[in-house]
Amino acid sequence: MGTVVRVRSLRPAPGVEIPLSEVVIRASRSSGPGGQHANVTASRIEASFAVAESAALDEEQRRRVFARWGPVVRAIAQDARSQARNRELALERLEARLAAALKVRRARHATRPTRGSRERRLSGKRRQSERKQVRRRPDVD
């Protein structure tokens, strides 16, 4: 088995560091792998982060995370037999969720259709019109 790395804080975005003291970690019995071992071991880990109570985020970051995930961001891991490994996985998932919420999307700038795209659209409309004209009943004169 690999070495266990103790995480001291989450770094979901550049310049943002969330201390583990702001993350609540709960252990419970897992429904994951482990057979009989899973019935007696609390290896399922739930990591939760209260957005409004965080001192690590500024107001804009709090608003962004709240809009995406709500008042509490949760991540659960029960993939591994080991509680320590599930703890690492839950913290990684929590960090990924926070990173996704904190990412600032670039503003979209309106663009004009190109000449080629306009010509393709109009020629497609012409083809469709001709196809429908061919399908019509012939005129009775």
> Which pLDDT tens digit goes with each residue over 54-65?
888 889 988 988
Whether the CB-CB separation of 62 and 39 falls below 8 Å is answered with no
pLDDT tens profile 106-128: 899 999 999 999 999 999 999 99
Sign (positive or negative) of CA dihedral 13, 16, 21, 22: negative
The DSSP letter of residue 13 is E
Query: What sign has the CA pseudo-torsion 5, 20, 98, 13?
Result: negative
Cβ neighbours of residue 132 under 8 Å, at least 6 residues apart? none
What pLDDT, on the 0 to 100 scale, is given for residue 83? 85
Task: Indicate the domain borders of the chain.
Answer: 9-102
Distance CA 108, CA 68 (A): 19
| pLDDT tens profile 10-63 | 888 888 888 888 899 998 877 755 566 656 677 889 999 988 888 888 899 889
pLDDT at position 9, please?
A: 83
Which residues, in sequence order, are CB contacts of 96 under 8 Å at separation 6+? 12, 75
* β-pair type (23-28, 16-19): unpaired
Structure tokens at 90: 């839950």
CA–CA distances in Å: residue 130 to residues 3, 20, 52, 91, 139: 70, 67, 61, 61, 16
pLDDT in tens, 91-111: 999 999 999 988 888 899 999
Return the pLDDT at 119.
97
Asked if residue 44 lies in contact with residue 76, where contact means CB atoms within 8 angstroms, the answer is: yes
Q: State which fold the 9-102 domain adopts.
A: Double Stranded RNA Binding Domain (3.30.160)
Place of tokens 């993939």: 79
